[in-house]
Amino acid sequence: MVSKKKKKLTPVQQEYQELAKKREPSKFTFKNLYRAFLVGGLICLLGQAVQQMFIHWWGFEEKAASSPTVGVMIIISVILTSLGVYDKIAQWAGAGTAVPVTGFANAMASAAIEYRREGLVLGIGGSIFKVAGPVIVFGSVAAFCVGIAYIIFDPNIVGG
């Protein structure tokens, strides 16, 4: 099918197609997989180190240390996004920076930075909810479906 389309193209268009194909980034390589795994793992390692600091230095229980750990990871992600560092790391690591909390914080901070010229309400507020809205809706629907499945398949809940 591609060869049929090439026959209809002019020589200049064919030359451009070949040049574009050479310059196109590779779709999947083990290098990309390695980078994503490395950076995602380092982000998770940093999160674990922050949680351990809350446990050992400030006497938190493991479960209680989770909430401030998430807050610190969000703050770190937003600061790195505002400095332009997070985006450079994301370009190098790809999907490895999409670790849920930091990736979501980066997406929201990027939207706020990009649309700040349009004002606080319509620019920043509206743009942040363009990103956050689908995530919140999907999370709510997924939680509802998992809850229904849990009720159906757990005999202790219904008394079966």
What integer pLDDT is reported at residue 74 of this predicted model? 93
Domains in the chain: boundaries: 39-153
46/69 Cα distance (integer angstroms): 10
Q: What is the pLDDT of residues 82-128, one digit of tens each?
A: 999 999 999 898 888 888 789 888 888 888 888 777 777 777 777 77
Cβ atoms of 109 and 102 within 8 Å: the answer is no
Residue 1 pLDDT greater than 50, yes or no: no
Sequence-distant (6+) residues with CB within 8 A of 128 are 108, 111, 112
Instruction: Please return the burial class of 160, using the count of CB atoms within 10 Å of its CB with bins 0-12, 13-18 and 19+.
Output: exposed
43/93 Cα distance (integer angstroms): 11
Q: What is the pLDDT of residues 118-160, one digit of tens each?
A: 777 777 777 777 777 777 788 888 889 998 988 888 767 655 4
52/4 Cα distance (integer angstroms): 61
13/30 Cα distance (integer angstroms): 32
Q: Where are the alpha helices (DSSP H) in 59-99?
A: 66-82, 85-93
Q: CA distances (Å), 127 to each of 34, 48, 104, 112, in order?
A: 33, 31, 14, 7
